[in-house]
């Protein structure tokens, strides 16, 4: 079975403390919401300490057109993607030219040629490297992209594959959007990048890499009649966030049956799962996961820690959680589940084993 060998992450240089984000939102939305002070506690309830932005907080005081914001997206995505991939490969002593396939996941900006094409010469990848850009998976993209990379290594077991997720959610911010969805997004979303290296079965690995987790199986679910739960509306000046307040309720209702079906298919019981690598969409979503699956508080410690330190970086976030998980000690044969939710409304599940 293919293995996850290493993860590299990168974030922009500009830090936004949550208290500053609260003050910014209070000024911006005060004329749009009656009794704005009733809504501002959402920033404390988010349990986020700080986030990273592609530009200083003051940059967002001025209206920015889609073209300007997207230009910043392309520049910053290349910069952070470069850092994340190099850190990922450096951990195992590989050069970019040894990568056979680059998967690129993003939902927060547009580029043609795509960002992965721009990375070929910037990183020094082989100019015959295969590329697969994936757009539109939102918060599920990190887990979904990892699943697609796993499937490639199953088909081509002698391959080394990098999956890179870059999300610059702050650059989608539209100050003229005074909706509650945008208010909630202002309290949650941030920027970051993560790269994961996978190796097929026929790749010769050093002995110390043989303890890295294997991917056992994956499952994708897209629920019917759920297109309005999460996503973007494309407007004249950019991407307008869609963010249903019913997401925690959907998690409580829908996640457990899908989780049970997945484990029955793999022949692994929930009692055998000791590690949960869950995308931290927000505190309420994590609480709903915990309730739906009957998990103890400590099961989601890394998810809560990444949310606290970085906020919700859409597709990249679950890979930050996985990075922390891989630094922990594990027993041989121990099982973990990677899971994320995204537009569709959809779920991605991945079973891994050390």
Residue 139 designated active-site:
yes
Instruction: Tell me how far apart the alpha carbons of residues 116 and 334 are, in angstroms, rounded to a whole number.
Output: 34
Report residue 15: phi and psi, to 5°: -100, 135
Cβ-based neighbour number of residue 151 at 10 Å: 14
Contact 152, 203 (CB under 8 A): no
Residue among 152, 163, 142 nearest 89 (CA): 163
To 10 degrees, the CA torsion angle through 281, 287, 290, 292? -90
**Catalytic residue from among 78, 88, 139, 169:** 139
Planar angle of CA 57, 59, 64, nearest 5 degrees: 135
Report residue 42: phi and psi, to 5°: -60, -30
Contact 2, 352 (CB under 8 A): no
To 10 degrees, the CA torsion angle through 58, 43, 73, 286? 170
Which residues are identified as catalytic?
A: 139
């Amino acid at each position: 079975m293919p293995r996850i060998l290493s993860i590299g992450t990168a974030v922009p240089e500009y830090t936004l403390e949550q208290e500053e984000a609260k003050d910014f939102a209070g000024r911006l939305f005060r004329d749009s919401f009656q009794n704005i002070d009733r809504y501002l506690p959402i920033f404390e309830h988010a349990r986020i300490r700080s986030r990273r932005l592609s530009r200083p907080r003051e940059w967002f005081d001025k209206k920015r057109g889609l073209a300007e914001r997207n230009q910043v997206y392309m520049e910053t995505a290349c910069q952070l993607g470069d850092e994340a991939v190099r850190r990922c490969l450096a951990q195992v002593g590989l050069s970019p030219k040894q990568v056979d396939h680059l998967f690129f996941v993003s939902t927060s900006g547009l580029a043609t040629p795509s960002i992965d094409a721009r990375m070929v010469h910037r990183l020094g990848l082989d100019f015959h490297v295969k590329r697969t850009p994936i757009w539109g998976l939102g918060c599920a993209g990190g887990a979904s992209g990892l699943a697609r990379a796993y499937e490639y290594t199953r088909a081509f077991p002698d391959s080394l594959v990098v999956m890179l997720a870059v999300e610059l959610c702050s650059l989608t911010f539209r100050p003229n959007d005074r909706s509650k969805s945008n208010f909630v997004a202002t309290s949650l979303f941030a920027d970051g990048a993560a790269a994961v290296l996978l190796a097929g079965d026929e790749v010769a690995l050093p002995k110390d890499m043989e303890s890295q987790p294997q991917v056992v199986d994956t499952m994708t679910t897209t629920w019917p009649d759920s297109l309005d739960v999460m996503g973007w509306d494309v407007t004249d000046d950019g991407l307008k966030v869609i963010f249903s307040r019913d997401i925690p309720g959907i998690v409580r209702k829908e996640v457990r049956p899908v989780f049970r079906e997945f484990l029955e298919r793999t022949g692994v019981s929930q009692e055998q799962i000791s590690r949960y690598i869950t995308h931290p969409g927000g505190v309420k979503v994590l609480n709903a996961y915990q309730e739906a699956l009957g998990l103890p508080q400590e099961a989601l410690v890394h998810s809560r820690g990444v949310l606290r330190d970085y906020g919700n970086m859409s597709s990249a976030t679950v890979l930050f959680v996985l990075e922390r998980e891989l630094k922990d000690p594990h027993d041989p044969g121990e099982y973990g589940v990677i899971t994320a939710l995204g537009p569709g409304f959809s779920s991605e599940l991945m079973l891994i084993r050390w």
